[in-house]
Amino acid sequence: MSSSFDFYRSLSMALFNDMACVSWLRTANSEGLVRRFGGDPEGATEGTWEELLATAYEDLDEDEDGAMLAVRHGEWLITVEPFNFRGAVPEVLSGAGQEAYSVCWTGTGQSLVTYATAGEVVARFDAYDVDALSPAGLAWLDGHQVKAAHWREDWRAAALALGEELSGVRMDEDWLARPRPMFTLGPVRLPRRPRRLRVDDETKAIAKTDPRIARIIDEPTPDKAEEIILMAAEMAVVTAGVEGPDVTQALELIAAGDRRSGQADDVRSKLARSEKDFRTQAREAYAALAPQDREDWVAPGHGTTYGRLMIKAAAAVVLQTALTPDDDPAAFAIQVVNDIGGVYLSSENGDVARHRALSAAASYIEESDPPR
């Protein structure tokens, strides 16, 4: 496999333009997959990759949304998209039935790798961050000759080498230069498949001791988003030790889902002033210390007075965020959960595990909840 990796490392940047999505799909139903991508199996033309790239958006009919090559090699159908990333959509990949692997990237540095088998997504990660793979994803990758070390060295070469390992097909300049079946793609609406929230042992353990976490992960439906937001706000308040009528009122408004009233506006303004005051006090406490007794900057943390004041400021930010008007609580819950990382939660009281559980549930709900 090192020879394949070395081959693509020397060539991969020359194969494609600044953005592309390549998918390797093991299926007996090419026509069905072309339809799943939004193409018409009977409407194929022939063209090379360069000719496909020359088909600009303005050249497409108004009811078309992109184009792709789709090439059959034995059990595998290989698709290449220059404009859009249908191959990154789990519902598209799950239609492969047997096995599906895709890698997509943009000219701005974004990337996404997905692998699915038997209709289930096993791995989904940023190609630049293979270390963020789930245990199931790592187990999948370990079963192949292309290892995590290859991804760290050159993710694009690793991605293409893994596609070759799976399919047995070398994708090189000659492959792209040959005329291939080419399909224009129309808008496609795929049914959302039921998904399972994957939880680790730490999350399962905290759910046994926390009924609220248990309810959320047992049934992570969109109506749980408000409870996630409230739990995140409560954890921030307790960890930071902030208190007073403004904090109490903020929690009451968050619990009621009241973010648009004049009362909510007033409390947000008061919390913004409190945040500013905490930061000012932190800087003053920092300046009052001898240089050898302070860190290089006013950093948060529970070990110093100025650090604890910065954490109080972070808690005020969480409350303000949780009180911000938003029409999509499912997506908004992720932002609030991310914000509580700034209060330095404790692992001793289980809050780090709660944070992981809330983050997993919020991401699941946001991905599962149909767009409004």
pLDDT for position 186: 83
Helical H segments across 185-244, by residue range: 201-209, 211-218, 225-240
Backbone φ, ψ for residue 305 (5° rounding): -65, -45
Q: How confident is the prediction along the chain (372 residues), in pLDDT tens digits per residue? A: 458 888 988 876 667 767 889 999 998 888 988 988 988 999 899 999 888 887 755 566 666 677 899 999 999 999 999 877 888 888 788 777 689 999 998 776 778 899 988 878 888 888 888 887 877 788 888 889 999 899 999 998 999 999 999 999 999 889 999 999 999 888 776 655 555 677 777 888 889 999 999 999 988 888 899 999 999 999 999 999 999 999 999 999 999 999 999 999 999 999 999 999 999 999 999 999 998 888 877 778 899 999 999 999 999 999 999 999 877 887 788 889 888 888 999 888 999 889 989 988 888 887 765 444
Residue 121 and residue 94 in contact, taking contact as beta carbons nearer than 8 Å: yes
Q: Which letter, b or e, does each residue of 104-113 get, where b requires 16 or more Cβ atoms within 10 Å of its Cβ? A: bbeeeeebbb
* Sheet containing 99-105: order of strands: 45-47, 180-184, 67-73, 76-81, 20-26, 99-105, 111-117, 120-125
Q: pTM for this one?
A: 0.54
Quote the pLDDT of residue 2.
55
Instruction: Give the pLDDT of residue 371.
Output: 41
DSSP state of 324: S
CB neighbours of residue 87 within 10 Å: 25
- Beta strand 76-81 pairing with 120-125: unpaired
Backbone angles phi, psi at 197, to 5 degrees: -75, 120
Taking residue 303's Cβ as centre, other Cβ atoms within 10 Å add up to: 9
Chain centroid, CA 118 distance in Å: 22
Task: With CA atoms as reference, report the closest residue to 41 among 190, 193, 189, 186.
Answer: 186
CB neighbour list of residue 49: distance below 8 Å, 6 or more residues apart: 69, 80, 82, 176, 177, 180
Identify whether the C-beta of residue 254 lies closer than 8 Å to the C-beta of residue 263.
Answer: no
